[in-house]
Amino acid sequence: MPRKDLTKLLFKRRLVWAVLLVLAAAAAIAVYGTAFATRAYLDQASSRGQTTLRLAVAVLRGQMSRYQSLPALIADHDDIKELLANPADEGLRTRANVYLKEINGLLASSDIYVIMPGGETIAASNYDGPASFVGENFNYRPYYQDAIKGEQGRFFALGTTSLKRGYYFSAPVTVGGRISGVVVFKVDIDAIEASWKGGDYEILVSDPEGIIFMTGRPEWLYAGLLPLTADRLARTETSRRYANATLRELPVTRSSFGDTHQLMTIASPGAAREYLVLDEPMPEAGWTVSVLLDTGSAHAQALTSVAAALLLLGLATLAGAIFLQRRARLAERMEMQASARAELEHRVEERTADLALVNRQLETEVTERRATEKQLRQTQSDLIQAGKLAALGQMSAALSHEFNQPLTAVKTYADNAAILIERNRIEEAKDNVSRISSLADRMASISRHLRNFARKPNEKLGAVALAGVVKDTLEIVAWRLKAAKATVAVDLGPTPPIVRGGSIRLQQVLVNLISNAADAIEGLADRSIELSARRKGGKIAITVRDHGPGIPAAIAERIFDPFFTTKGVGKGLGLGLSISYNIIKDFGGDLAVSNHPDGGAEFTITLDAARVPVREAAE
Ligand code: ADP
C-alpha cells in the first residue's frame, strides 16, 4: 500500500476513535454530569433550606416559650381562684371575664378562658363576643385533660367554636391543694403563617399524625402527609383537633437523591411537583417542621450547566477537529513534498545513471576513436610510405627514362663519332661530339633540379630587388623563349618592388613559371607572356600570365604535386611547380594559380615587401 494511503487510513481510524471518545465523553457528561450538577444544586438548595428551617423552628419555639408560663401565672390569680371556689357567683364571673379580656388585650393572645372540672367554661376573654366560649364544654380537648390531672397542657387545634387555629397552653388552678379548674391560653398562629408566604420554599408544620396544620399554601391545610389510617383518624376525632374540617391525604410520593437528599413529589391537578424535603422535629410540641424546596430550579440549573459543559465539549471537539485537520493537511503537504523530493531524487538518480551510461558510451567511443585514429595514423603512415615508395618508383622510372634517352643518344653519337674519326670524317665527328656535350648538359640540368629538390639550400633570406632577378631570369630563359617564339612583357610598376626572399631561388621560380608559360603557348597564335609586379599593402604580388589553354579544373589541385606533369615523356619532370611552391613557402610567401578571365593561366607569387635591397648570391 502506498505511504499516502496508509497515512489516510491511520487518520481515518484516529478520527473514528476521536468521534467515539467525544460521544462517550458527551454521554458521560449527560449522565454523570447531570447527576453531579443536580447534586451540587440540591446541596446548595439544601443548605439554603436548612437556614430557612432553622429560622422557622426558632420563630415557633420563641412564640411558644413566650406564652408557656402565662397560664400558670393567670391560674394563680386570686379572682380566678375565687371564681372557681364560687362558680355560681355572677359578680365573680363578671370580674373574671373583664380581667381575662384585659389581659388578653395586653398579651395580644387569641383567647384566655377558665374551665371548670367537667369541661364547662365559666369565664372567657371573649365572653362578650359573638362566639363566646362561656358555657362551652371542652372536656374532649387534651389540654383540658392534661391540666385537670395537674399537668401543664399544650395542644394545637382548630377552634371548635371560633373555627380559628391556635395553640393552646393550659394550667391547673389549685385551690387548697385541690385542682379546682383549668386556665387555657390560646395563641393565634396566623401571623407566623403569614410570614411564610412567598419565597421559593414552602414551610409546613405537621402534627404527629402527619396532618399539615400550618402552611403558606392554603390548599395543603389539613392534608395528610402520611396515609390516613383508621387509628390516626380515630385519634384526631377524639381530640376534635380539627373540629369539623375535612381531612384528606396529600398525593405524595417520597423518594431520595443519593443518601443525603429526601425528595417528595406532590401531585396537584394538572401537574406534579418535586420538592427537596428538610425536616426538623419539635418534640416539645410533637410537631414536625418541614421546608419544601422546589427542585425545578436545581434541575434547570443542572441542565443549563450540563448544556454549557456539552457546548464546551462541542467547542473543544471543534477546535480539536480543526487542529487535527490542520495537522493532517500539514502532514499531507509534507508527505507530498517528501514524495516530490523522492521523485526528484529518483529522477536525478535516473539522469545520473543515464549520464553515467552516456559517459561510458562516450568513453568507449573515445577509446574506439583513439584506436581508429591510431589505425588511421598507421594507415596514413602506411599510405605515405606507400606514396613515397610509389613516388620513388615514379621518380626512378622518370629518371631512368630521362637519363636513358640521352645516354643512348650519347652512346650512339660516341659510336658514330668513333666510326667517323676512323673514316676520317672529322667534321661530322665534331658535330657528334658537340651533340654528346649538349646531352651531357641536359643530364646535368636534370641532376641539378633533383639536387635542388632533395636538398634545402642554405641561402639566407633578405631584401631582394625584383628588377635584377627578372633581368637575370630573362637572360636564362632567352633561348627557351626564342625556341618557342614567345615574348615576355615586363611591368614592375612605378616603384621597383623589393621583396623578402633569396634571389637565386626566386630566379629559379621565375624561370620555371616562364618556361611553363612558354611550353603552354608554344605553337599558338598569341605567344605573349606578361610578367608584372604590384604592391598590395605590405605584400608584393608577382604574376606570370600567358595566353595558353589555362589549367583545367580537374588538375588544378594537383599541379603543385611532385612529378605531376601533363607533358610527354622526356619533356617534363613534373618537378618545376612543386619545387617552386616549396621555395615560395620557404620565403614565407604563397604561390597560387588561377585562370585569367580572358584565357590563359596566371601564376601569382605573393611575398612580403622589404625595404633595403641587398643582392645576395649565397647559394
Ligand atoms: P613540367 O613542366 O615538367 O610538366 P611542372 O611542375 O613545371 O612540370 O608543371 C606541371 C604541369 O603543370 C605541366 O605538366 C602542365 O600541365 C601544367 N602547367 C604548368 N604551367 C602551365 C601553364 N602556364 N599553362 C598550362 N599548363 C601549365
Atom 8 of ligand 1: nearest residue by CA position: 574
Atom 11 of ligand 1: nearest residue by CA position: 565
Find out whether the beta carbon of 512 lies less than 6 Å from any atom of ligand 1.
yes
Atom number of ligand 1 nearest to Cα 577? 6
Find out whether the beta carbon of 548 lies less than 6 Å from any atom of ligand 1.
yes
Q: Do residues 142 and 219 lie in contact, with contact meaning Cβ atoms separated by under 8 Å?
A: no
Domain range 458-618, CATH class? alpha beta
Find out whether the beta carbon of 511 lies less than 6 Å from any atom of ligand 1.
no
Atom 12 of ligand 1: nearest residue by CA position: 559
Give the distance (Å) from ligand 1 centre to CA of residue 512: 9
H or E element: which one contains 276? strand 271-282
Find out whether the beta carbon of 564 lies less than 6 Å from any atom of ligand 1.
yes
Q: Do residues 466 and 544 lie in contact, with contact meaning Cβ atoms separated by under 8 Å?
A: no
Find out whether the beta carbon of 562 lies less than 6 Å from any atom of ligand 1.
no
Question: Cα separation of 374 and 66, whole Å?
Answer: 144
Output the nine-digit C-alpha cell for 18.
476521536
Find out whether the beta carbon of 580 lies less than 6 Å from any atom of ligand 1.
no
Other beta carbons less than 10 A from residue 195's beta carbon = 14
Atom number of ligand 1 nearest to Cα 513? 20
Find out whether the beta carbon of 601 lies less than 6 Å from any atom of ligand 1.
yes
Give the distance (Å) from ligand 1 centre to CA of residue 561: 11
Find out whether the beta carbon of 517 lies less than 6 Å from any atom of ligand 1.
yes
Low-confidence ranges of the chain (pLDDT < 70): 1-4, 7, 380-381, 383-399, 401-402, 405, 445-446, 449-459, 569-571, 612-619
Give the distance (Å) from ligand 1 centre to CA of residue 517: 8
Atom number of ligand 1 nearest to Cα 565? 14
Q: What is the pLDDT of residue 619?
A: 40
Find out whether the beta carbon of 486 lies less than 6 Å from any atom of ligand 1.
no
Write out pLDDT tens, residues 102-154: 999 998 888 999 999 998 999 999 999 888 889 889 888 889 999 999 888 88
Q: Do residues 95 and 79 lie in contact, with contact meaning Cβ atoms separated by under 8 Å?
A: yes
* DSSP one-letter string for 357-399: HHHHHHHHHHHHHHHHHHHHHHHHHHHHHHHHHHHHHHHHHHH
Give the distance (Å) from ligand 1 centre to CA of residue 531: 17
Candidates 3.40.50.800, 3.90.1640.30, 3.30.450.20, 3.40.50.2000; correct CATH number of 68-188?
3.30.450.20
Is the whole-model pTM more than 0.85?
Answer: no
Q: What is the pLDDT of residue 616?
A: 47
Give the distance (Å) from ligand 1 centre to CA of residue 41: 136
Closest of 590, 617, 615 to residue 496, by C-alpha: 615
Find out whether the beta carbon of 577 lies less than 6 Å from any atom of ligand 1.
yes
Give the distance (Å) from ligand 1 centre to CA of residue 544: 13
Residue ranges of the chain that CATH labels 3.30.565.10: 458-618
Give the distance (Å) from ligand 1 centre to CA of residue 488: 18
* Cα dist from 195 to 52, 214, 217, whole Å: 12, 11, 12
Question: Cα separation of 168 and 70, whole Å?
Answer: 11
Atom 16 of ligand 1: nearest residue by CA position: 566
Give the distance (Å) from ligand 1 centre to CA of residue 565: 6
* Cα dist from 353 to 30, 347, 356, 471, whole Å: 66, 9, 5, 76
Question: Cα separation of 221 and 117, whole Å?
Answer: 33
Cα–Cα–Cα angle for 403, 406, 410, rounded to 5 degrees: 130
Question: Cα separation of 445 and 454, whole Å?
Answer: 14
Q: What is the pLDDT of residue 452?
A: 60
Best residue among 452, 481, 577 to mutate for probing ligand 1, ranked by most atoms within 8 Å of CB? 577
Best residue among 565, 580, 594 to mutate for probing ligand 1, ranked by most atoms within 8 Å of CB? 565
Q: b/e per residue, 283-296, with b = 16+ CB within 10 A?
A: eebebbbbbbbebe
Residue ranges of the chain that CATH labels 3.30.450.20: 68-188, 192-294
Atom 21 of ligand 1: nearest residue by CA position: 516
Find out whether the beta carbon of 309 lies less than 6 Å from any atom of ligand 1.
no
Is 192-294 assigned to CATH 3.30.450.20?
Answer: yes
Write out pLDDT tens, residues 9-28: 777 787 788 888 889 988 98
Give the distance (Å) from ligand 1 centre to CA of residue 455: 22
Find out whether the beta carbon of 599 lies less than 6 Å from any atom of ligand 1.
no
Question: Cα separation of 272 and 253, whole Å?
Answer: 10
